[in-house]
Amino acid sequence: MSVSPSINVAVIGASGYSGIELLRILLSHPNVRLSAVTSRQNAGKALTEVLPQFAGYPGGASDLVFSSPTIDELVASGVEVAFLALPHGVAAEFAVPLVKAGVRVIDLSADFRLSDPAVYEEFYGQAHPAPDLLASAVYGLPEIYASEIHRAQLIASPGCYPTSILLPLIPLLRSGLIDPSTIVVTSMSGVSGAGRKEAVPLLYAECNESVRPYGLPKHRHLSEIEQELSVSASSPVKITFVPHLVPITQGICTTTTAKLTSRFSDVSQIEGVMKALYRDQPFVRLLGEGGYPDTRHVRQTNFVDIGWHHDERTGRIVLTSAEDNLWKGASGQAVQSLNIVNGWPQTLGLL
Amino acid sequence: MSVSPSINVAVIGASGYSGIELLRILLSHPNVRLSAVTSRQNAGKALTEVLPQFAGYPGGASDLVFSSPTIDELVASGVEVAFLALPHGVAAEFAVPLVKAGVRVIDLSADFRLSDPAVYEEFYGQAHPAPDLLASAVYGLPEIYASEIHRAQLIASPGCYPTSILLPLIPLLRSGLIDPSTIVVTSMSGVSGAGRKEAVPLLYAECNESVRPYGLPKHRHLSEIEQELSVSASSPVKITFVPHLVPITQGICTTTTAKLTSRFSDVSQIEGVMKALYRDQPFVRLLGEGGYPDTRHVRQTNFVDIGWHHDERTGRIVLTSAEDNLWKGASGQAVQSLNIVNGWPQTLGLL
Amino acid sequence: MSVSPSINVAVIGASGYSGIELLRILLSHPNVRLSAVTSRQNAGKALTEVLPQFAGYPGGASDLVFSSPTIDELVASGVEVAFLALPHGVAAEFAVPLVKAGVRVIDLSADFRLSDPAVYEEFYGQAHPAPDLLASAVYGLPEIYASEIHRAQLIASPGCYPTSILLPLIPLLRSGLIDPSTIVVTSMSGVSGAGRKEAVPLLYAECNESVRPYGLPKHRHLSEIEQELSVSASSPVKITFVPHLVPITQGICTTTTAKLTSRFSDVSQIEGVMKALYRDQPFVRLLGEGGYPDTRHVRQTNFVDIGWHHDERTGRIVLTSAEDNLWKGASGQAVQSLNIVNGWPQTLGLL
Amino acid sequence: MSVSPSINVAVIGASGYSGIELLRILLSHPNVRLSAVTSRQNAGKALTEVLPQFAGYPGGASDLVFSSPTIDELVASGVEVAFLALPHGVAAEFAVPLVKAGVRVIDLSADFRLSDPAVYEEFYGQAHPAPDLLASAVYGLPEIYASEIHRAQLIASPGCYPTSILLPLIPLLRSGLIDPSTIVVTSMSGVSGAGRKEAVPLLYAECNESVRPYGLPKHRHLSEIEQELSVSASSPVKITFVPHLVPITQGICTTTTAKLTSRFSDVSQIEGVMKALYRDQPFVRLLGEGGYPDTRHVRQTNFVDIGWHHDERTGRIVLTSAEDNLWKGASGQAVQSLNIVNGWPQTLGLL
């Protein structure tokens, strides 16, 4: 006799791009039963009326209706895991009572990524809405914090830029091969990263044939990037980070450089520390010295591809990485955490 | 009594993207008579058969026929200025006899950009085809070398990446505000920059939804970039340079960072040195501290837009620039040199 | 002794895509002095603050400031021609007093394109705001109504789709070579055609990798298309018209088919009637039997390219055409009318 | 005790866009064991060296090596089903011996789609390479020929345009609701449809901002379209078909119009005949009267979306459809046939 391993999952706030990709993944996930899809704006409408691309999908897509339940109703309905795909600030309003009610929460917003509420206030311009919960929240980067994620009740899924920046840098910082004070990061993000909002600068005719930097010098994601880099370096790290908007829908390409330290003697060391950390990680693909990532190769996947080059002329390492900002940079990574929480293979429903 | 100021101009090798934009500009240039448009491959065909977009254009577009003349024939036809839109190595074959025959040459290839033939060989993988001419060639960056261009018989028009990198950096290096050893440059180029050649990696379906780095660690353009940066810094400069291919047709967006030196005390100094050099330059648009360039704003123009941000947290300056790789990065800049050579307003036919 | 031929021009409502392209053309137009650029929303701001792409342009771009004058103030300022780049309904509010005050008006909206106010109400869902002016308004399609435009005080510049549909069809309808009851038109428009408005369906991430029909079965432009086709056929014409949105910024590609009549005997007749009407028209480029237009070839130009194929298997002619929806489909065409009004060459400032 | 249902599958010629998507689907297909992936050009190279996007995929992707076996070697290796992703003409060379050897063949080329070899010669410009096999080949459109596909040894998978055109039209032709002599079809295809070949017209810089018709008046796909329409109408059908290239990677949007006959009285009849045929088809999504398909909604799926509008003004029906040209238009459909052949759910590995 066997028992179905399926669990009841709710997606809170499913009208943005991350929410849509989250639905796409969860509808096909073999161990997930989508028991609630909430949206204040679309409450009462059929999922496939609002998102016709999901007509004919498995996972009961045709029967799902957007709802707008109270927390009590959500809990009473037997939801075991709630994904929060909400703006920062709003997410905490849901997280607090859900956690209290014993529901496991995977939050895609920034609300619980920072351990220090003062840093939150500095970067997000408002007092932290639930500082008491910060201590128990886990930064949901599976390649680094898998065991913490497995035990956590509140998982703060990382931002899109941070994922593409942290994964290449962490092994090098841990090993002392690079000088943390010399890190310069340039990222190029697809337009979906800016959200599904009515805004002239995100119109097709504004973004097509357009490449432009923005968010200087203190993009919000810097706060979690520097927090995690500092952990890896065992000392405070500050970096220069320049994000750009490029005309693709999905994808982030990140180029990171730093000065090599005296511990560095040969480029094979890079491969050594990368492999030591990521050898068994199903979603990190090491392209090796000389390899180039391409956002097209990771589109609609949970992979992050990492290559590197030694610039002997300047004594710098150049790390290049690519991911899908909506998958490994948001929803895919959140489902990866769901799998870890439940002890399922990390790749379940993602590959 | 007045004499028409028109001069006879030839475009040698007009089948690539730079050549096409050069034709577009020259056909409408009030002081230019296009007396020869050459192409071995298309010799004998009407210009508008090969390039139907030019049907109905002024400048005698409908009567132009691609030819493949000998140098002697070109000279005999009265050509006064020849633009070379040819691959490196091939350009020199034409430049040598044309210069000898007294024709003024504006070369869009890399053949005469480097003063040291050994550097040419290092970066281009072949012996320099005409080292004797190097001493007399002028690096055709009008904002820096206008008076040399005015007198030159052989002008080596700069590459696309170099233009977008040199213009923001030169005033800062000259003034000693930045540490040359800390320069990191990231550029994003439209696909036309890779040329109009039959190659699978340049197909639409390969480039769309794709952002990818390439050319590490020693892109060919580094040679001329570092040559000119070294002149500005009065000492040898080596930089880390990471080019990327992004899905736009035309445009380069460049982001440059460097550590500020002890000479730096206030961000207004940046504006000061920028304005001192570029105040009267019609094609440099200074966006100021906090300004962001956008490739869309310079498309089909000869402008280069430059903004900057002071990253106090890391002591770095971030310079951002945008240009059209085929205009200011190639053909527009070459025509700007033509105007300077003839003592015409720099903007003639370009604005 | 010569007198400057420049005239004083105002652009009323210059914040949309048509308005921006209109400014681009007028700033470089040799005979135009831009004396007013109005926008309620941007009043008081410098033109180049709102539209930084125009910094450094000629035509006094750097000194222009958005204003929001009353009609009286406009008239008092000596404006001779006013372009209206306003939503339908709003345009008429400006047109009525301007016409009354003796200002010549070139209206880019739909308000004065239809001679029958009942048709306006049927297609635009509101009573016509100024039916008394309809009789004196001229449909501003220069290739057809040049002499009327020259004399008109109120010119209703055609819509983007209509221009691309009418020009290929009119010679064939006039000559009786096609059966009007069998016309089927499919058009593909770039996203700028939908306007510069905050709307999720126009976001980059919604339009990229998206091709979709819309506006069936009675797109508003059908009203003026059928009005003009009926004139050409000397009998009421109704057509099936299917517009599509495609991921380009600027451009319309239109494919039109109709059954050939018994008057048709040979495909050379098509070239005959096309050339008879358009031989001397500088902006109509006839690609001939077998020629294919391409939106890329007309981008940022006022050309409309027309090709055709005889489908012997079905007895149909296939007409294909391409234009830039913001130039020949809107602002370029409006300036073409300005040139005609003033007796200048049609191409002045446009080529 | 259970036996694994997996079968041994070979992909012959896997370097083009259809081949790549076929690999993507088959690598994740639960009942498929990819036993051979062949390519003359890449023989000996690891799959993930040539196609790095498949690193980390399931289905043994990391162990696969491109081979170039003889037919005998293929057969000896136990291949049960061979997909042919080869150019027309070449496919038949493999199909003949494979069929003879008892291997089931699913051919993505045009070689066996036409029952009449004379039509093949007319449209493909060469004598049919294996006319004896035509009688036994089945046109692999699963929604129409599922039972024939189940029994077939040689399946000719339909072309991309035909799939998007036939599915909307067949129910209307069978029911006599439209006049076959009035059918006009316009299609817009993504650039991957033109193949992965070194050709200047397919370069990014040629296709971006470009919409253009081509292939008039007798695109090759007309042959199979008209063959199948004639079967549905029980009489010879000829149509006007205008394909266009649009700047998307994957997707076809098709718009079809025809005159309604006297059998038509109400638009609900359209829904009636559509549902009668497609109600239980998992990959046909009927959007209903007023519904609009969007290529973005079917990208990387095997769905075909169909909407329709009644144009009362002209007595025409307008059918609109969208599919992914590489999935439902090629590889997805071929795998759908594989599922039918083996008696598996049609959606296995595809949803």
Interface of C with A in 164-203 (CB under 8 A): 190-192, 196-200, 202-203
The verdict on C288 touching B (C-beta cutoff 8 Å) is no
> What DSSP string runs through D70-85?
-HHHHHHTT--EEEE-
Closest CA to D173 of D239, D123, D222: D239
All residue ranges of chain C with pLDDT < 50 are 1-2
Of A188, A240, A293, the CB nearest to B311: A240
What per-residue confidence (pLDDT) applies to A14? 86
Average pLDDT score over residue span D45-70: 96
Contacts (Cβ under 8 Å, ≥6 apart) of B40: B68
Of D182, D213, D312, the CB nearest to C320: D213
Alpha helices for B213-310 (secondary structure H): 222-233, 268-278, 295-298
CB B152 within 8 Å of CB B341 = yes
Average pLDDT score over residue span D45-55: 97
Chain D residue nearest residue A284, CA to CA: D56
Neighbours, chain A (3 or more CB pairs < 8 A): B, C, D
The verdict on A208 touching C (C-beta cutoff 8 Å) is yes
CB B350 within 8 Å of CB B305 = no
> pLDDT, tens digit, for every residue of B265-292?
999 999 999 999 999 999 999 999 999 9
C-alpha distance from D225 to closest chain B C-alpha (Å): 26
Of A182, A253, A314, the CB nearest to B211: A253
pLDDT interval class at B3 (50, 70, 90): low
Chain B residue nearest residue D250, CA to CA: B205
Q: Where are the domains of chain C?
A: 7-157+330-341, 161-323
Contacts (Cβ under 8 Å, ≥6 apart) of A283: A142, A143, A302, A303, A304, A328, A336, A346, A347, A350, D56
First to last CA, chain C: 28
C-alpha distance from A87 to closest chain D C-alpha (Å): 25
C-alpha distance from B273 to closest chain D C-alpha (Å): 37
Q: Between chains, do A205 and C191 touch, taking CB under 8 Å as contact?
A: yes
Q: Between chains, do D208 and B248 touch, taking CB under 8 Å as contact?
A: yes
Residue B266: both structure tokens together:
């206030």
Coil, helix or strand for B312? coil
> pLDDT, tens digit, for every residue of B95-115?
999 999 999 999 999 999 999
Of A52, A53, A285, the CB nearest to D56: A285
Torsion of CA B193, B195, B201, B207, to 10 degrees: 40
Q: Between chains, do A247 and C205 touch, taking CB under 8 Å as contact?
A: no
CB B340 within 8 Å of CB B146 = yes
CB D319 within 8 Å of CB D262 = no
Contacts of B250 in chain D (CB under 8 A): 205
Contacts of D247 in chain B (CB under 8 A): 204, 208
- Which uninterrupted H or E stretch holds C48? helix C47-50
Contacts of C201 in chain D (CB under 8 A): none
What per-residue confidence (pLDDT) applies to B164? 98
Q: Between chains, do C211 and D251 touch, taking CB under 8 Å as contact?
A: yes
What per-residue confidence (pLDDT) applies to C4? 57
Q: Between chains, do C184 and D316 touch, taking CB under 8 Å as contact?
A: yes
Task: Give dist(CA D88, CA D68) in Å, integer.
Answer: 19
What per-residue confidence (pLDDT) applies to C312? 97
Alpha helices for B202-300 (secondary structure H): 204-207, 222-233, 268-278, 295-298
Contacts of D204 in chain A (CB under 8 A): none
Q: Three-state SS string across D86-125, please? A: CCCCHHHHHHHHHHHCCCEEEECCCCCCCCCHHHHHHHHC
The verdict on B41 touching A (C-beta cutoff 8 Å) is no
Instruction: Find the catalytic residue in A26, A144, A160, A246.
Output: A160
Task: Give dist(CA C321, CA B135) in Å, integer.
Answer: 53
Which architecture, in CATH terms, is B161-323? 2-Layer Sandwich (3.30)
Chain D residue nearest residue C308, CA to CA: D216
Coil, helix or strand for B328? coil
Contacts (Cβ under 8 Å, ≥6 apart) of A128: A92, A111, A114, A117, A120, A121, A134
Closest CA to A262 of A181, A174, A169, A179: A179
Q: Between chains, do C351 and B57 touch, taking CB under 8 Å as contact?
A: yes
What per-residue confidence (pLDDT) applies to D1? 39
C-alpha distance from D10 to closest chain C C-alpha (Å): 31
Q: Is the pLDDT of residue B1 over 90?
A: no
What per-residue confidence (pLDDT) applies to A5? 77
User: In the CATH scheme, what is the code of domain A7-157+330-341?
Assistant: 3.40.50.720
Q: Between chains, do D303 and A56 touch, taking CB under 8 Å as contact?
A: yes
Contacts (Cβ under 8 Å, ≥6 apart) of C218: C123, D313
From first to last of its 351 residues, what are the pLDDT tens digits of chain A? Answer: 345 579 999 999 988 999 999 999 999 999 999 999 999 999 999 999 999 999 999 999 999 999 999 999 999 999 999 999 999 999 999 999 999 999 999 999 999 999 999 999 999 999 999 999 999 999 999 999 999 999 999 999 999 999 999 999 999 999 999 999 999 999 999 999 999 999 999 999 999 999 999 999 999 999 999 999 999 999 999 999 999 999 999 999 999 999 999 999 999 999 999 999 999 999 999 999 999 999 999 999 999 999 999 999 999 999 999 999 999 999 999 999 999 999 999 999 999
Closest CA to D140 of D150, D132, D128: D150
The verdict on B125 touching C (C-beta cutoff 8 Å) is no
C-alpha triplet A82, A84, A86: angle, nearest 5°: 160
Strand partners, A183: none
The verdict on D288 touching A (C-beta cutoff 8 Å) is no
DSSP D159: P
Residue D191: both structure tokens together:
């650039």
The verdict on C100 touching A (C-beta cutoff 8 Å) is no
Coil, helix or strand for A338? helix
Instruction: Find the catalytic residue in B14, B20, B22, B160.
Output: B160
Q: How far is CA B100 from the centre of its chain?
A: 24
Query: Does residue C207 carry a catalytic annotation?
Result: no
Average pLDDT score over residue span B200-211: 98
pLDDT interval class at B2 (50, 70, 90): very low
Average pLDDT score over residue span D310-326: 98
What per-residue confidence (pLDDT) applies to B4? 58
The verdict on C119 touching D (C-beta cutoff 8 Å) is no
Of D192, D198, D206, the CB nearest to B205: D192
> pLDDT, tens digit, for every residue of D108-118?
999 999 999 99
Task: Give dist(CA C204, CA A190) in Å, integer.
Answer: 9
Sign of CA dihedral B65, B71, B74, B80: positive
What per-residue confidence (pLDDT) applies to A4? 57
The verdict on C219 touching D (C-beta cutoff 8 Å) is no
What per-residue confidence (pLDDT) applies to B14? 86
Whether D7-157+330-341 shares its CATH topology with D161-323 is answered no
Q: Between chains, do D204 and B200 touch, taking CB under 8 Å as contact?
A: no
ipTM for the predicted complex: 0.96
Average pLDDT score over residue span D49-67: 95
Neighbours, chain B (3 or more CB pairs < 8 A): A, C, D
Task: Give dist(CA A303, CA A322) in Å, integer.
Answer: 8
Q: Is B241 exposed, middle or buried (0-12, 13-18, 19+ CB in 10 A)?
A: buried
**Residues of D catalogued as catalytic:** 160
Residue C200: both structure tokens together:
């999720």
Q: Which amino acid is at B146?
A: A
Torsion of CA D12, D14, D17, D23, to 10 degrees: 100
Coil, helix or strand for D341? helix
Q: Is C95 exposed, middle or buried (0-12, 13-18, 19+ CB in 10 A)?
A: buried
The verdict on C230 touching B (C-beta cutoff 8 Å) is no
The verdict on A301 touching B (C-beta cutoff 8 Å) is no
First to last CA, chain A: 28
Task: Give dist(CA D169, CA B240) in Å, integer.
Answer: 59
Neighbours, chain C (3 or more CB pairs < 8 A): A, B, D
Sign of CA dihedral D92, D98, D99, D104: negative
- Which uninterrupted H or E stretch holds C97? helix C90-100
> pLDDT, tens digit, for every residue of B242-259?
999 999 999 999 999 999
